[in-house]
Amino acid sequence: MAKQVDFAELKLSEKIIGAGSGGAVRKATFQDQEIAVKIFDFLEKTVKKNAEREITHLSEIDHEHVIRVIGRASDGKKDYLLMEYLEEGSLHNYLYGDDKWEYTVEQAVRWALQCAKALAYLHSLDRPIVHRDIKPQNMLLHNQHEDLKICDFGLATDMTINKTDMQGTLRYMAPEAIKHLKYTAKCDVYSFGIMLWELMTRQLPYSHLENPNSQYAILKAISSVSLVVRPTICHSVRMNVEISIPKS
């Protein structure tokens, strides 16, 4: 359970560091420590549901590659999730931001390995947690961009029953989830695979389409692939990747 902290102890800054469907993320100070705070406005029912999901699941997790929760607070109208602050931004921003940083294959494999370790941990808990929104926007960087932690557990769920609801970001979503078929924790593995491809090519998935930002065009592209035909990794690529795995 996340520790309930007194809202009065929280000093929110004006600086918004992220804004998505879940709510704004702001910098703040708590007990002289710089932190990040995700703010959930309870006017919308789905926001409340996702907030509870995120706070519950994140509080149960203790892993070096998952963002650490400090506590939760409420002012009666909004709920606040207090997290450690990772100042180097998201992996998405690193890949496509103005700075155009360079990175090596070894670095890409290091990020991928860290994400895979966190997913293996989440999926092997007594009540396995499925993230359902694995993508570079939800990977936060630290340690001079060398290491990552997974954030954004707004869609996370435990996998005690088979799911058929479509949740996630289309570009990264497993076909079985899109088609409302039964899916398992493997949907995270599919999204991880798309992200791995993205890390190696530094291209947004489906950017080759004529309308790369059209949800309809992406859906059509995904639907044209048979469910049983998944791309295979050729042996030589697998060998190269294995050789590149850092020894940490």
Ligand X SMILES: Nc1ncnc2c1ncn2[C@@H]1O[C@H](COP(=O)(O)OP(=O)(O)OP(=O)(O)O)[C@@H](O)[C@H]1O
Catalytic residue among 79, 133, 152, 188: 133
User: Using CA atoms, how far apart are residues 86 and 104, in angstroms rounded to an integer?
Assistant: 22
Which one of residues 28, 36, 66, 134 is an interface residue with ligand X (CB under 6 A)?
Answer: 36
Q: Does 134 participate in binding ligand X (rule CB under 6 A)?
A: no
* Tokens, residue 99: 């700075």
Residue 6 annotated as catalytic: no
- Work out the angle at residue 217's Cα, subtended by the Cα atoms of residues 212 and 222, and round it to the nearest 5 degrees: 105
Q: Does 83 participate in binding ligand X (rule CB under 6 A)?
A: yes
| β-strand partners of 27 | 36
- Cβ 198 to Mg ion shortest distance, Å: 16
C-beta neighbour count of 171 within 10 angstroms: 19
Q: Does 81 participate in binding ligand X (rule CB under 6 A)?
A: no
Which part of the chain contacts ligand X (CB under 6 A), choosing from 1-9, 78-86, 95-103, 234-242? 78-86
Cβ distance 130 to 187 under 8 Å? yes
Cβ distance 79 to 90 under 8 Å? no
38 labelled binding-site residue: no
Q: State which residue has the least CB distance to Mg ion.
A: 152
Which part of the chain contacts ligand X (CB under 6 A), choosing from 58-66, 101-109, 133-141, 160-168? 133-141
Q: Does 168 participate in binding ligand X (rule CB under 6 A)?
A: no
Residue 50 or 138 with smaller CB distance to Mg ion: 138
- Cβ 11 to ligand X shortest distance, Å: 16
Q: Count how many residues are written for the chain.
A: 248
Angle between helices 235-244 and 105-123 (to 10 degrees): 90
Binding site for Mg ion (CB under 5 A): 20, 138, 152
Is 117 buried (19+), middle (13-18) or exposed (0-12) by CB count in 10 A? middle
Q: State the number of binding residues for ligand X (CB under 6 A).
A: 23
What's the gap between Cα 129 and its chain centre? 13
- Cβ 138 to Mg ion shortest distance, Å: 5
Q: Report the catalytic residues.
A: 133
Chain residues binding ligand X by CB under 6 A are: 17-18, 20-23, 25, 36, 38, 67, 83-86, 89-90, 133, 137-138, 140, 151-152, 154
